[in-house]
Amino acid sequence: MASTFDPLLNPSNDSSTVINSPPPSNLTQDDLKRIAAYKAVEFVESGMVIGLGTGSTAKHAVDRISELLREGKLRDIIGIPTSTTTHEQAVSLGIPLSDLDSHPIVDLSIDGADEVDPSLNLVKGRGGSLLREKMIEGASKKFVVIVDESKLVKYIGGSRLAVPVEVVPFCCDFTRGKLEELFREAGCTAKLRMKSGGETAAVTDNGNYVVDLYLERDMGDLEAASEAILRLPGVVEHGMFLGIATTLIVAGKSGVTVRDRFG
């Protein structure tokens, strides 16, 4: 098929791209998320240890894995959830669960992303689960990222939405100020994430807070930015997932695109 996909998906020669037949044009964003999730579950094989992602797109993948287990098309799957929300979903669906202490090597993780740049670097954690997601997906032999085409950006922070940083509660405003100062040249505004209603800080599954970075411009060298963030006392982890994703699945109006980082 002709190259009708977004050029952000194919910036270099380190990838292979497959485009399936286009879906109906009247699909909603949630429909596209489900299509990408179901495509990702095709990578799951019986006997695997699977990292179960968090968020609206990953939820479809967990549902699909459960369905295939009930049908007997998958067997002996062990899931490792990336959040308490996903843990509760998997338990309700009867998916056997474990953790990294018992299974330090994960065969495959499937999760969504808030942003994907042309090099398959990600922003994740707008749902607050970035630390557990990075631990589990970083321990995975293969990490399949599932998104709809709205998540594609030219650079990290390009959506002008949050790049999350998990911080300890102690003197969190001090840490917030240091983060904002760190990326002042990129037009950064750093805000402590609040619960609905705006009176108290949102708390992660790990009991920490989240500072959201809003960028007006490209922050530049992502590895250098990552190191600078992690050097700040008070920072636990950030939501930039650099070089972790192995496969990207994008569902869009022109069809489903699969890109492999390693070709």
Report the catalytic residues.
133
Spatial separation of the C-alpha atoms in residues 204 and 66, rounded to whole Å: 26
Spatial separation of the C-alpha atoms in residues 113 and 124, rounded to whole Å: 5
Spatial separation of the C-alpha atoms in residues 231 and 100, rounded to whole Å: 25
Is residue 129 within 8 A of residue 151, CB to CB? The reply is no
The 3-state DSSP class for residue 59 equals helix
Pairing of strands 235-238, 163-167: antiparallel
Question: If residue 68 lies in a helix (H) or strand (E), which one and from where to where?
Answer: helix 56-70
Residue 180, Cβ density class (10 Å: 0-12 exposed, 13-18 middle, ≥19 buried): middle
